[in-house]
Amino acid sequence: MPAQHSAPHGSTIGGTHRRRRHLVSALVGFLVLLPGLIAVAPGTASAAYPDNPAEPVPFGSAGFFGPTGGLTLNAPAVGMAGTPSGNGYWMVASDGGIFNYGDAGFFGSAGALPLNKPIVGMASTPDGGGYWLVASDGGIFSYGDAAFHGSAGSLPLNKPIVGMAPTPSGHGYWLVASDGGIFNYGDAGFLGSMGGKPLNSPIVGMATDAQTGGYWEVATDGGIFSFGAPFYGSTGSLRLNAPIVGMEANKDGSGYRFVATDGGIFTYNTPFYGSMGGKPLNKPVVDMAGS
């Protein structure tokens, strides 16, 4: 149940791997992702997408490992995940192209596959040896040591999938839809959802609590919905300059933060390292990941 009274820190107040149907947590830093110009990783095609440069923006001790510009994309960047060491990250485009930097390995992509629906997010395995991509129809694409545990591809969905999160063991994952519906696979337990319940704003992402095995859902207004995980606060009762687009949790589940499209960062029971709120951006922020 989300209570929405806490004031946040921030600056935005006021068979094959093709199966039809946030993130690495941070203690000392995080990155936000602006869709944009990005170097293309091995195995992904490069073509003109001139209005889509991708640029990670680090805060705290999070490092910048690329891209440094050069090539253009087939489709916009829509999500990212950090490596366990904090010394690299992956970014994914809506066509399933994967872009890896630092110590993030390339294990494959969906960039050359015909997709029924666009990719909307990704998650990495705990050891950083693989990752999953998820499409808006709940299709799951698994690479490296990321095992396929099921998908929502054959299900009639009331609303599109908007994100996913792995279990702490890496042997399962949750998918979340924009109406708050939760789809659990592998060792991911179902602890409740907002599916079928009234929402002021659509759900845009989720994060997991490694301590309790629970999870949080976040809405565009910053409302937080906790299931088997502690509630630390939200912006649900505040007027935001821009909608929330993503969240990530501390590694020990002791807090979380989320980011708005203008780069405003809102932190709860976790340090505030800065934000892009109030600063000029070429494109809106689309996601965040911990380091």
Domain layout of the chain by residue ranges? 29-290
Task: Reply yes or no on whether the pLDDT at 148 is more than 90.
Answer: yes
The span from the CA of 281 to the CA of 263, in Å, is 8
HEC readout, the chain: CCCCCCCCECCCECCCCCECCCCCCCCCEEEEEECECCCCCCCCCCCCCCCCECEEEEEECCCCCCCCCCCCCCCCEEEEEECCCCCEEEEEECCCCEEEEECCCCCCCCCCCCCCCCEEEEEECCCCCEEEEEECCCCEEEEECCCCCCCCCCCCCCCCEEEEEECCCCCEEEEEECCCCEEEEECCCCCCCCCCCCCCCCEEEEEECCCCCCEEEEECCCCEEEECCCCCCCCCCCCECCCEEEEEECCCCCCEEEEECCCCEEEECCCCCCCCCCCCCCCCCCEEEEC
Q: What sign does the dihedral 230-236-239-243 (CA atoms) show?
A: positive
Own/partner pairs for 193-202, CB < 8 Å, 24+ apart?
193/217, 193/227, 194/225, 195/158, 199/223, 200/236, 201/243, 202/159, 202/162, 202/178
Q: Is the confidence at residue 58, as pLDDT, over 70?
A: no
CATH of 29-290 given 3.40.50.300, 1.20.1250.20, 1.10.10.10, 2.120.10.30? 2.120.10.30
From CA 160, how far away is CA 176, in angstroms rounded? 9
Mean pLDDT of the chain: 81
The whole-angstrom separation of Cα 138 and Cα 126 is 21
Average pLDDT over residues 154-177: 96
Provide the whole-model pTM.
Answer: 0.81
Distance CA 234, CA 221 (A): 9
Task: Give me the percent of the chain exceeding a pLDDT of 70.
Answer: 76
Q: Does the pLDDT value for residue 70 go beyond 60? A: no
Bridge partners for 182 per DSSP: 176
Residue with more model confidence, 162 or 238? 162
CB 77 within 8 A of CB 67: no
**Which amino acid belongs to residue 286?**
V
- How sure is the predictor about 168, in pLDDT bands with cuts at 50, 70 and 90? very high
Residue 66 has pLDDT above 90, yes or no: no
